[in-house]
């Protein structure tokens, strides 16, 4: 399993004190307030930063890092990704999974037919959509609902689904 999770991307600077504007990749944006440190990954590698302050502004998160004192220093981080260590992530409720853990899992029907592998997952607001791609590149879109997703087996890297009428 992946040791680090991407939880956002620095898209701009904010203000004159070296804050950065972050586009979050997580629904639980409050978790940024609970973090003391974060890893920033860019073309130069991965480096740990201490978080001094977290604010919110128009669907974005504003973060002040220790050692980043002005807009010029903050601008050097633009485009970088924010990572947290898996051990620092909040435990998930039973039956919920990190998307990164589902990507690449083989998807089988409850009749044992291989549909392909999970290529992407996106949220429509009401539920997730699993994009399953076979070896020829053909895609199947499956709603992430209990009627369709029957079993997720992370250990064996397999998802079992039921194809309901009208789905394919």
Domain co-membership, 109 together with 156: yes
Work out the average pLDDT over 107-128.
Answer: 91
Domain co-membership, 75 together with 9: yes
What is this structure's pTM?
A: 0.71
Work out the average pLDDT over 3-31.
Answer: 90
Domain co-membership, 83 together with 105: no
Domain co-membership, 13 together with 60: yes
Say yes or no to pLDDT of 81 above 70. yes
Report how far apart, in Å, the C-alpha atoms of 40 and of each of 108, 125, 145, 146 are.
37, 29, 34, 36
Say yes or no to pLDDT of 11 above 90. yes
- Percent of the chain predicted with pLDDT > 70: 99
Domain co-membership, 23 together with 73: yes
pLDDT tier for residue 1 given thresholds of 50, 70 and 90: low
Domain co-membership, 36 together with 82: yes
Work out the average pLDDT over 105-126.
Answer: 92
Task: Single out the residue in 87, 110, 139 at which a domain terminates.
Answer: 87
Using a 10 angstrom Cβ sphere, with 0-12 exposed, 13-18 middle and 19 or more buried, the burial of residue 38 is: buried
Say if 65 falls within a structural domain. yes
Parent domain of 156: 99-161
Give the domain CATH number at 149: 2.30.30.240
Q: What is the pLDDT of residues 96-114, one digit of tens each?
A: 888 888 999 999 999 999 9
Domain count, the chain: 2
């Amino acid at each position: 399993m992946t040791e680090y999770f991407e939880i956002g991307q620095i898209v701009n600077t904010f203000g004159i004190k070296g804050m950065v504007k972050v586009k979050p990749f997580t629904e639980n944006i409050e978790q940024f307030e609970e973090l003391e440190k974060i890893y920033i990954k860019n073309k130069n590698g991965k480096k740990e930063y201490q978080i001094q302050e977290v604010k919110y502004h128009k669907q974005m998160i504003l973060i002040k890092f220790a050692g980043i004192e002005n807009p010029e220093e903050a601008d050097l981080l633009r485009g970088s990704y924010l990572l947290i260590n898996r051990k620092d992530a909040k435990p998930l409720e039973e039956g919920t999974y990190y998307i990164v853990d589902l990507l690449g899992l083989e998807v089988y029907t409850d009749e044992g037919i291989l549909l392909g592998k999970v290529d992407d997952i996106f949220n429509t607001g009401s539920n997730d959509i699993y994009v399953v791609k076979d070896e020829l590149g053909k895609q199947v879109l499956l709603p992430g609902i209990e009627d369709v997703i029957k079993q997720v087996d992370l250990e064996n890297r397999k998802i079992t689904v039921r194809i309901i009428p009208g789905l394919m």
